[in-house]
Amino acid sequence: MPARKSVSSTTLSTEKSVLTDLFDRTISYLRLSLTDRCNLKCLYCAPEGRKGKLLRHSDLLTYEELLRVVRAAVSMGMSKLRLTGGEPLVRRDVMRFINQLGEINGLRDIRITTNGVLLERYAEGLRAAGISKINISLDSLKPERFARITGMDCFAQVWRGIEKAQAVGFAPVKLNMVVMRGINDDELVDFAQLSHDTDLHVRFIEFMPVGASSRWNADTYMCSDKIKERLQDLGELIPVHRGETDGPACMFRLGAEAKGKLGFISPLSHHFCDRCNRLRLTSEGKLRACLLHDTETDLRALLRQNCSDEEIRAALLAAVRSKPQGHRMEERLKEQEGGCHGRMSRIGG
């Protein structure tokens, strides 16, 4: 275990101070939730159930505020950004914003996570604006079930979005499936097969206890080891080196002939806190150092008090320094402490 560093070692004196937390993790990846609004109402994510209360527009950080934060973060060594939400593509003028992000010197890698509903329309523009990678959330390959999970009958539209993303040159296109026992676990084989037959990358994500409206419970949750057991008869899972773009996923190919890859993201059963390099900015402007910890810093209040860029940098560093060593969610669940209360639609996953 790395020794805990003292906060007094903080230095803000240079423009390029590196964001390192108290456990020697370098934080180089910022996730921005652009809005809590979404054109889907997924049963595990919709704010306060499907009739949830949304943030007022004035509660969201403006694009100008977001650009200030990103510039400050990049000046401290952040090089990778992910746009998420809610659904990032529903925010008005999102392409103007993305184009402005593309002009920030030092920001090497801008990615987006989307539900794909608007992707057919936006894929080309996203590519032209310099988005490097697209993740698409897809929890079912069955149109009727997709409609039940998301509250919207638009599987075909999402699928056209996926095809369009591939056609305009995004490679690989990654599909993320949140695995829920009794809801979509009978499709594990079909999703795995998709990663064999096509060059899509499929990643199975463990269902996390986030948000009051999440349907998470111990019966719905399925750990990655159980998911793998279900795939046993399909063929050998050949480990592949985790590429720079794979994030926390453990990656495999389903047999030597597989065109795509298959990944397992196991935040609960095999957590990856020791190599977490992320900081999140929620749609209401709170800095969140750990997805599964509700501690947040109110950056919006600071921004709206006409703060200096130096103060933004200090707030980013303080948030990074508040990053817990690990989320301890397994222990917290055993001790009946419950999951976290933040809403996924504001945090952005």
Helices (H), the chain: 63-75, 94-102, 119-128, 143-150, 155-167, 188-197, 224-230, 299-303, 309-321, 329-334, 344-347
Select from 20, 75, 113, 195 the one that contacts ligand SAM (CB under 6 A). 113
- Give min distance, CB of 214 to ligand SAM, in A: 5
Answer for which of 22, 34, 45, 319 binds ligand SAM (CB under 6 A) is 45
Instruction: Give the residue with the Cβ less far from ligand SAM, 210 or 287.
Output: 210
Q: What is the dihedral of CA 342, 345, 346, 347, to 10 degrees?
A: 70
Alpha-carbon distance of 116 to 347, in angstroms, equals 19
Of 28, 176, 195, 322, the residue at the interface with ligand SAM (CB under 6 A) is 176
For the record, the structure tokens of 309 come out as 């860029």
Chain centroid to CA 31: 7
**Does residue 344 belong to the site contacting ligand SAM (CB under 6 A)?**
yes
Task: Tell me whether residue 85 or residue 172 sits nearer to ligand SAM (CB atom).
Answer: 85
Residue closer to ligand SAM by CB (options 22, 251) is 251
- Residue 219: CB minimum distance to ligand SAM, A: 15
The answer to whether 114 contacts ligand SAM (rule: CB under 6 A) is: yes
As given in the structure block, the two tokens for residue 37 are 């609004």
Find all residues with CB under 8 Å of 343, minimum gap 6, and list them.
36, 47, 48, 52, 210, 211, 212, 213
178 near ligand SAM, rule: CB under 6 A: yes
Nearest to 216 by CA among 33, 340, 54, 349: 340
Q: Which of 19, 27, 34, 38 binds ligand SAM (CB under 6 A)?
A: 38
- Give me the residues that bind ligand SAM (CB under 6 A), please: 38, 44-45, 84-85, 87, 113-115, 137, 176, 178, 205, 207-208, 210, 214, 216, 344-345, 348-349
